[in-house]
């Protein structure tokens, strides 16, 4: 398809008989899309306008892109979908990745549907629900007693020697292209109106970069006329990208030992740090750091106000918004979109205390009524 400015969305996203992310194939790295690449539907995830929470926060509009509604319950399915399609296109029958958990459960899911053998390298501490997914989907799971950063290096060495197709962040250039479809869907749901801000948490920096890539694509094709300000949210003790960005151009990665309640963004050696920082500089974005307590509080706020149970990394975007509002970085009249990157069922540890505190009552009507007083 020839590159053109100011085209109509319907020309660009022509029907290929699917409603999922493959409908954006003219902007994806495939000459054509086999409609049966993957029978699973990745996207379209809902874009929810939550007026109650917007009012509570004192902003004009709040949009939540709920990517926990994907097949393996995270945004990573968009990347895995493209990686698996590419592996099939190139004739591979084996694929691998290192992951904090979501990329691995996602790749396991999409590979199982496509019939690829999947090899997974994860830290031993990966949440049980995500580990269950990988194992149930039949991946060969290598749980390694090491950090994500070490596991990543081990996977690269072994995967290359074995000649498997690599779905590792920042190594595989197509992941970004898959992930950008979340932002395409967001803008399409907003009828190509641009919110003032988009906030998304950042671990390796690939999802953050994908938001910028989507915006640049849409500007390029004239589908939107201005860019929102994009803010990456990191844990205050897991802020390697933000720290690198703050150290100034030319960016030199600052690695660190990290701790963050959100395992998906607990990354000390982010693989897409240079891209994320360059895109941020180029587009006038920025970074916000949030604490574990702020992330957990945001899980409850999202659930109780909007009915969305987000995994910690998803709720971090809301924690970032709250902090940006408190610090005056975002003004009170702004319209804001948050990328909710995964479902809370994937890691219930941060809210496990609630279950423990929850009292078991005897089947005694009088007692239960007392309890309700």
* C-alpha to C-alpha distances, 41 to 32, 38, 44, 165, 242, nearest whole angstrom: 18, 8, 8, 22, 34
At its nearest, how many Å lie between its own copies and the CB of residue 106? 10
Stretch that binds its own copies, among 33-41, 240-248, 252-260, 271-279 (CB under 8 A): 33-41
Asked if 78 is part of the footprint of its own copies (rule: CB under 8 A), the reply reads no
61: enclosing H helix or E strand: strand 61-66
CA distance 193 to 191: 5
CA distance 127 to 168: 19
Please report, as residue ranges, which positions from 148 to 177 form the binding site for its own copies (by CB under 8 A). Answer: 150-151, 154, 157-158, 161-162
Label the pairing between strands 165-166 and 197-201: unpaired
The contact mask relative to its own copies for 188-227 (x = CB under 8 A, - = no) is ----------------------------------------
Please report, as residue ranges, which positions from 277 to 306 form the binding site for its own copies (by CB under 8 A). Answer: 299-300, 303-306
Total residues at interface with its own copies (CB under 8 A): 77
For its own copies, which residue of 144, 166, 171, 216 counts as binding (CB under 8 A)? Answer: 144
| Cβ proximity to its own copies, 134 vs 215, nearer residue | 134
Asked if 369 is part of the footprint of its own copies (rule: CB under 8 A), the reply reads yes
CA distance 236 to 255: 14
Label the pairing between strands 140-144 and 197-201: unpaired
At its nearest, how many Å lie between its own copies and the CB of residue 371? 7
Contact 167, 103 (CB under 8 A): yes
Label the pairing between strands 197-201 and 229-235: parallel
Please report, as residue ranges, which positions from 5 to 24 form the binding site for its own copies (by CB under 8 A). Answer: 20
For its own copies, which residue of 1, 160, 361, 370 counts as binding (CB under 8 A)? Answer: 361
Please report, as residue ranges, which positions from 315 to 354 form the binding site for its own copies (by CB under 8 A). Answer: 343-346, 348, 351-352, 354
Asked if 65 is part of the footprint of its own copies (rule: CB under 8 A), the reply reads no
| Cβ proximity to its own copies, 219 vs 348, nearer residue | 348
| Cβ proximity to its own copies, 146 vs 329, nearer residue | 146
Contact 67, 342 (CB under 8 A): yes
> What DSSP state is assigned to residue 341?
-
| Cβ proximity to its own copies, 326 vs 355, nearer residue | 355
Asked if 268 is part of the footprint of its own copies (rule: CB under 8 A), the reply reads no
Q: Give the contacts of 331 (CB within 8 A, at least 6 positions apart).
A: none
At its nearest, how many Å lie between its own copies and the CB of residue 158? 6
At its nearest, how many Å lie between its own copies and the CB of residue 167? 15
| Cβ proximity to its own copies, 208 vs 302, nearer residue | 302
Terminal-to-terminal C-alpha distance of the chain = 66
C-alpha 217 chain-centroid distance:
19
Considering only CA atoms, which of 234, 164, 184, 158 is closest in space to residue 45?
A: 184
Token readout for 106 is 């996602």
For its own copies, which residue of 8, 14, 34, 136 counts as binding (CB under 8 A)? Answer: 136
At its nearest, how many Å lie between its own copies and the CB of residue 218? 22
> What DSSP state is assigned to residue 112?
H
At its nearest, how many Å lie between its own copies and the CB of residue 301? 10
| Cβ proximity to its own copies, 267 vs 308, nearer residue | 308
Measured in degrees and rounded to the nearest 5, phi and psi for residue 370 equal: -55, -45
Asked if 359 is part of the footprint of its own copies (rule: CB under 8 A), the reply reads yes
How many residues are listed for the chain in this entry?
373
For its own copies, which residue of 26, 46, 253, 286 counts as binding (CB under 8 A)? Answer: 46
């Amino acid at each position: 398809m020839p590159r053109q400015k100011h085209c109509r969305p319907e020309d660009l996203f022509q029907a290929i008989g699917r409603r999922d992310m493959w409908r954006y194939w003219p902007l994806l790295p495939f000459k054509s899309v086999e409609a049966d690449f993957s029978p699973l539907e990745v996207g379209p995830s809902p874009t929810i306008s939550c007026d109650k929470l917007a009012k509570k926060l004192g902003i004009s509009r709040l949009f939540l892109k709920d990517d926990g509604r994907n097949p393996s319950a995270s945004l990573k399915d968009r990347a895995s979908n493209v990686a698996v399609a590419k592996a099939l296109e190139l004739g591979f029958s084996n694929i691998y990745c290192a992951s904090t958990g979501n990329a691995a459960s996602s790749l396991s899911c999409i590979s199982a549907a496509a019939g690829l053998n999947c090899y997974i390298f994860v830290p031993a501490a990966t949440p049980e629900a995500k580990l269950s997914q990988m194992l149930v989907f039949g991946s060969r799971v290598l749980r390694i007693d090491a950090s994500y950063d070490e596991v990543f290096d081990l996977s690269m060495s072994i995967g290359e020697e074995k000649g498997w197709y690599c779905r590792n962040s920042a190594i595989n250039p197509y992941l970004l292209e898959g992930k950008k479809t979340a932002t395409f869907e967001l803008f399409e749901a907003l009828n190509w109106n641009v919110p003032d801000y988009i906030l998304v948490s950042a671990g390796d920096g690939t999802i953050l970069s994908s938001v910028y890539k989507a915006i640049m694509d849409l500007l390029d094709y004239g589908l939107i006329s201005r860019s929102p300000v994009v803010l990456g949210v990191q844990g205050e003790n897991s802020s390697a990208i933000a720290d690198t960005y703050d150290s100034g151009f030319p960016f030199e990665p600052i690695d660190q030992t990290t701790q963050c309640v959100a395992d998906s963004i607990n990354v000390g050696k982010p693989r897409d740090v240079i891209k994320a920082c360059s895109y941020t500089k180029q587009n006038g974005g920025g970074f916000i750091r949030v604490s574990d307590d702020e992330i957990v509080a945001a899980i409850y706020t999202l659930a109780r106000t909007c009915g969305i149970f987000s995994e910690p990394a998803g709720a971090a975007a809301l924690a970032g918004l709250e902090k940006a509002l408190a610090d005056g970085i975002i003004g009170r009249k702004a319209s804001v979109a948050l990328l909710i990157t995964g479902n809370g069922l994937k890691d219930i540890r941060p809210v496990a205390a609630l279950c423990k505190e929850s009292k078991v009552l005897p089947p005694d009507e009088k007692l239960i009524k007392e309890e309700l007083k």
